[in-house]
Amino acid sequence: MELRSQRLVLRPWEDRHRQPFADMSADPAVMGYMMPLTPHAAHTTWIDNQRNRVGYDAPFTGWRMARPFWGRGYAPEAAATCLRFGFEGLDLPEIVANTVSANLRSRRVMEKLGMVHDPRDDFDHPRVPRGHPLRRQVLYRLTRERWLAQNAA
């Protein structure tokens, strides 16, 4: 399945995405708020896991973007497209997103989309070791009702 926005096409992983993803995952700035991947994992394991399942019990997944594309509005555009599909196409009652507290860019995207943060929902990421600065995650929520109200205006 593909989702389209004004400038973007969102589609499932394809084998041709492996090397660009590995290159992006080797950029320390891109990976600043994520656990680092080995070159092998970035090229194979991570994509294979995403194709099959997230790998831990979570009702959400995430995004990352290569540095040359930062600051062009692609992240909010892609996320808004996914929200529209989730609420209109799948009739989901709620969509959530998470990041580490210090990731202000991702938090701004979530807030720009109308997502709401409640500190009581924050959690420790199950795949990040105890004591690691990336373990604590902030969770943002957007209900279908709120999204509909925002888009009616």
pLDDT at 62: 64
DSSP 72-139: SSHHHHHHHHHHHIIIIIS--SEEEEEEETT-HHHHHHHHHTT-EE-GGG-EE-TTS-TT-TTSEEEE
> pLDDT (tens digit, 0 to 9) for every residue of the chain, 153 residues total?
899 999 999 988 888 988 988 898 899 999 888 888 787 777 788 778 777 775 555 555 567 889 999 999 999 999 999 999 999 999 999 999 999 999 999 999 999 999 999 999 999 999 899 999 999 999 999 999 999 999 987
CATH number at residue 9: 3.40.630.30
Instruction: Give the range of the structural domain holding residue 67, as residue numbers without chain letter.
Output: 3-152
pTM equals: 0.85
Query: How many domains is the chain built from?
Result: 1
Number of neighbours of residue 42 by Cβ within 10 angstroms: 20
